Structure 1
Amino acid sequence: MTGQNSATASDYVFDNDGDHSSDQHRYLAQLLDPLTFERLALTGVGPGWNCLEVGAGGGSVALWLAERVAPGGRVLATDIKPGLIPSRPGLTVARHDVVTDPLPEGAFDLIHARLVLSHLPQRRQVLSRLRAALRPGGWLQLDEIDITRWVAPPPSGGRAGEVYRAYVTATARVLGAAGSDPTWGGSAARDVAAAGLVDVDQARWTEVWERGSAGLGLLISNSHHLEDQLVAAGMTFRQLREVREVMSAPGFSAPSFEIHSILARRAGDD
């Protein structure tokens, strides 16, 4: 789970400077980029567009956008800790907190944020700021998760299901304690509409994760990244070692969380 904008850098549960940050972003790109790119393409993004990528993380989406808007366009990729975002022609990287730092009004043809706003208690205020930063007719895309139905044990059941469920529950507790709402993806479209954006379109996606999948790779990486917080949330180091073995075992499978992708526009007559 990515996006480094938050009320303060220390409040954010995932750290771009962590030992497992690169793995996290690699698995996120493998898991989510195909859906993100498919949805972004629906906007018609192309040469000359001015784009903003909020909480760019490892930069895979920003790089894709930079290729699409060349020649003549530009992409501004922001993050509280932008050190993992590569530099390319047409791509500007900036340290920026979307909660507190200013954005130019009416400046962007397209704004994208993935797994960012769910981490922000001020997400509704941020939505208003993002709307104001769009030019009239400009596009906003948010990609978020909803773990409401994710906590069910996997089909394999038994001890594997028990320890997996404990891990998922503890992860949700860690995110909640940091001010995140990992269920927000399911209601994000409603908040986007309430912020005054129009033509709101929501797509929902799920799959089954099996051994070696990007989804389980992400969860294993997160179990290392959040180890101290997970222990504070009630897991033991022994349970964490066990759940890593479970998620790496032949034959293990588990349902993914829901991914919600919301597309909307700023009205053209604003």
Structure 2
Amino acid sequence: MKRPAKGAKGAKGGKGRKPQDAAEESAPREFRAGTQAGYQPPTRKSHRKGMPKRIVAADAAWAATKAAREAALPLQPVAPVPAPAPAVQPAPKPVVRPAAKPTGKPAVRHAAKPVDKPVGKSVGKSRPQAPAKAAPAKPFTPRPRPAPVELTIPEGPDSGLIVRLSRVLNVPASAIFRAINDPERRGWAPESLFRIMSVLAPRFIRLAFPDGTNVAISVARQGNARALVALEITKLPIGTDERDVKERWDEALSALQEQLDTSWD
């Protein structure tokens, strides 16, 4: 008898397979895997195939005895289970407070009483205070203002001369501007009869004199108590001497410095 070739019926290097193994391989994957869908656990009957006969017989005898006992026992009605009664909470204990000790004085309730006495610093008997006398109102007296001066400025050709000069005054810029703009403090100018044409407080002011001369005054602050005053004199009459104009306005700035040294108001 010839020996079958190696691996003729089974896998390489192994024994031949049974027919049921081949059927399992041809079945779908979910039936082969125990954890996949379609898995059927083994029954008691299939499990007995590999058990000894004595164990099978003992198991059958025990099942018959159990069935006989259950048949012999009478059927007892099942009593309904009563619902649990609600829990009864104990009543709270009354709080007993100790009685107050007798003091021998009747209890008096304090009520708010109207205060008729005037409140003052004195502790003893207070005297009625006299009503404060109102101070008589002082009549308002307006400050007298000087009458407006009618200044006629001639209109005609001028010399075209422009004179410029400047000086640093040891006075605040605001005090200089107030002194120039005050109509009652014009003693510093060469001619006290002039008209204020334009104002830009506290930096610029333009003056017009009766002979047609215009003076533009610029005030520049240089610290807390110093200011630079620059003058530009235009529209001078024909035949005016430039040196004479500079001397007169130089003296005017000196007079302005002396006036402001006495008072900055």
TM-score where L is the length of structure 2: 0.18
Higher relative contact order (CA 8 A, sep 6+): 1
Structure of higher CA gyration radius: 2
Structure that is richer in helix per residue? 1
Flag the structure with higher strand content: 1
With the length of structure 1 as denominator, give the TM-score of the two structures. Answer: 0.18
